[in-house]
Chains A and B, each alone.
Chain A
Amino acid sequence: MTAEAVLDLSHPPSKPFRETLARLLGHRSFVIGGFLVLIVLIIALTADLIAPFDPLRNAARVRLRAPDSVYWFGTDHFGRDILSRVIHGARISLIIGGATVLMTGLFGTLIGAVAGFFRPLDNPIMRLMDALMAFPAILLALTVAAVLGASVVNVIIALSIATAPHTARIVRASVLVIRELEFVEAARALGASEARILLRHVLVNALGPLIVRLTYVFAIAILAEAALSFIGVGPPPPAPSFGNIIANGRDFMVVAPWITIFPGLAIIVTVLGLNLLGDALRDVLDPRMKV
């Protein structure tokens, strides 16, 4: 369908890793995006060390404090420090994003590769993927979350179900082109088994578009986690995620806008970094893909 139409699939053969890396490092988007993502990652990893306060501790005395020299981002209605919650929130948001990428990568690739390589299965599998894609991702995730209940793991499952079909389609498209290419034909002629070909050649060569797609999936997952939290099916309290801090502040949007604003900015920084990375990876790994 449209993705195939937008993609031009005459894919260049793989380049040596070192050359790719050099091109990436010379790419401005990669450097800026990588820098932003790295900072968020470091904050998430060292949250326990750098957060000025316990993100879960209630302190009724200092409820709804506006940002000041002690509470840089202000406090929420429990008297919890928003800065500390945003810092710790980075951890859960990145875990959700990362795990969604892994699940989507794994299942999307598997489904796409099987559909692309075993022609009889292609039609049924891809029609099912189309059916899943016929629901807006957020509705699909909401429905799945309503079925499974709100928890970090269930949010990951819901987001993976919502993002895997598109990924499967991209992988399938790459596989379809690559399997007809000469070097795969050659491998087949040399007596390599189908499974081996699938694994060794086709998947390795489909890696470029996949990595690009998964970078965007990471960004989508961070945004979608926040949206799910807003509807009330995100990660449960009290552990903070970017999304549930915002959701928590919605009742106090006017009297204490800082609860809503700061985690929103954190999302923007993270997603911007990921989008920049995605753009750079696309330019280098998959130059024919436009958006």
Chain B
Amino acid sequence: MLGFLTRRLAGAFLVLLLVSVLSFGIIWLVPGDPAAVFLDAGATPDQVERLRRELGLDKPLAMQVVEWYSRILKGDLGRSILLSRGVTEAIIERLPVTLSLAGISLVLSVVAGVAAGMVAATKHGQPVDQAVMAGALFGLSIPEFWLGLVLIVVFAVQLGVLPTGGFVPPTESITGWIRSITLPAIALAVVHMGFIARMTRAALLEVLSQDFIRTADSKGLTRLHILLRHGLPNALIPILTVTGIVAGSLLGGTVIIEQVFSIPGVGRLIIGAILSRDFPVIQGGLLFVALVYLTINLLVDICYAIVDPRVRLE
């Protein structure tokens, strides 16, 4: 197990190093610079150039590389050009927002997805199963951001029962927080619900077809009893894996949903930074997101290795 861990960690570190190169390098390819965002259409190139100097954006490449690595090794992601604060601070400020959105969506998708998957598996081949699976597939086919728009029109504008966007921190108002997070969380969860439902059903069906279940069946135990007592625990591993995949995918999904609902989260921070060429935020943000992704994947791997010894030998 220790060998497995070291191998995985070393691999992850290597990947992280590559990620740092990629996120630093990408900005050298993007045309335009942040000074332009400060200026209106009347600004001449001379003015842009002056402002670049004043903002300290005219350092040579080699110096920037050195600065980048000496900074990130210290865990410092630098200072935003546009937000008048440190990148780390900007990320930390928004992290609770993104995490609460992704977290609630995850809970929603896992609870609804696993329940739907269980129902489908117990009623395997029956109309209920087919209906659930059709629904899951349909959910998988809806563009998240489009669903978000439709939810806004229906629930916020037509019915007026929920806010159109924005984010209320739970520290300010719990009900306000729940209200502000409901629509975006649903928009995000629908796709993943379908994914988890399909996975749960497949895993359960496989377990249920195995010998010990058939034995339990022949002993006359009820279907539900078998499912809860034997089926679910054995199907837990694949479900756990999929939950890990979904957690990563949800973080990606928040990027666009935050945009639709004007939620000040990490995704919107990075998109805004890309569109305004706030280079330190692009670099730091991408590095941070990659780190979170890798950590989730690593955790999933470790969980998997704990429950399934064969993986460790690979």
Q: Which residues of B contact A253 (CB under 8 A)?
A: 149, 152-153
B22/A131 in contact, CB under 8 A: yes
Surface stretch bound by B, among A11-19, A95-103, A268-276:
A268-276
Q: A136-B289, A254-B157, A260-B149 are in contact. Are A268 and B138 (CB under 8 A)?
A: yes
B11/A2 in contact, CB under 8 A: no
A142/B202 in contact, CB under 8 A: no
- The CA-CA distance from A226 to B259 in the complex, in Å, is 14
Q: Which residues of B contact A276 (CB under 8 A)?
A: 137
Q: Which residues of A contact B195 (CB under 8 A)?
A: 291
From 274 to 306 in chain B, residues with beta carbon under 8 angstroms from any chain A beta carbon are 274-275, 282, 286, 289-290, 293-294, 297, 300-301, 304
A143/B202 in contact, CB under 8 A: no
What residue of chain A has the Cβ atom nearest to residue B136's Cβ? A275
Give the size range of B's interface with the partner. 35 or more
Q: Which residues of B contact A290 (CB under 8 A)?
A: 199, 202-203, 238
What residue of chain A has the Cβ atom nearest to residue B191's Cβ? A223
B211 interface contact, C-beta 8 A: no
A230/B145 in contact, CB under 8 A: yes
A231/B294 in contact, CB under 8 A: no
A-B pairs under 8 A by CB, number? 147
When the two chains form the complex, which single residue of A2, A137, A261 contacts B297, counting CB atoms closer than 8 Å?
A: A2
Could you tell me the dominant secondary structure of chain A's interface residues?
helix
Q: Which residues of A contact B48 (CB under 8 A)?
A: none
Q: A260-B149, A272-B137 are in contact. Are A136 and B199 (CB under 8 A)?
A: no
What residue of chain B has the Cβ atom nearest to residue A268's Cβ? B141
From 21 to 75 in chain A, residues with beta carbon under 8 angstroms from any chain B beta carbon are none
Q: Which residues of B contact A175 (CB under 8 A)?
A: none
A139/B301 in contact, CB under 8 A: no
B106 interface contact, C-beta 8 A: no
Q: Which residues of B contact A260 (CB under 8 A)?
A: 146, 149-150, 153
From 105 to 123 in chain A, residues with beta carbon under 8 angstroms from any chain B beta carbon are none
A194 interface contact, C-beta 8 A: no
Q: Which residues of B contact A217 (CB under 8 A)?
A: none
When the two chains form the complex, which single residue of A4, A5, A147, A264 contacts B146, counting CB atoms closer than 8 Å?
A: A264
A127/B11 in contact, CB under 8 A: yes
What are the interface flags for B302-314 relative to A under an 8 Å C-beta threshold, 1 for contact and 0 otherwise? Answer: 0010001001001
- The CA-CA distance from A271 to B143 in the complex, in Å, is 9
Q: B105 → chain A, closest Cβ, in Å? A: 14
What are the interface flags for B141-179 relative to A under an 8 Å C-beta threshold, 1 for contact and 0 otherwise? Answer: 111111001101100010000000000000000000000
What are 18 A-B residue pairs whose CB atoms fall within 8 Å in the complex?
A1-B301, A2-B304, A130-B15, A134-B293, A136-B252, A136-B255, A137-B252, A138-B252, A139-B252, A139-B255, A139-B270, A146-B275, A147-B31, A149-B31, A219-B141, A231-B271, A264-B142, A268-B141
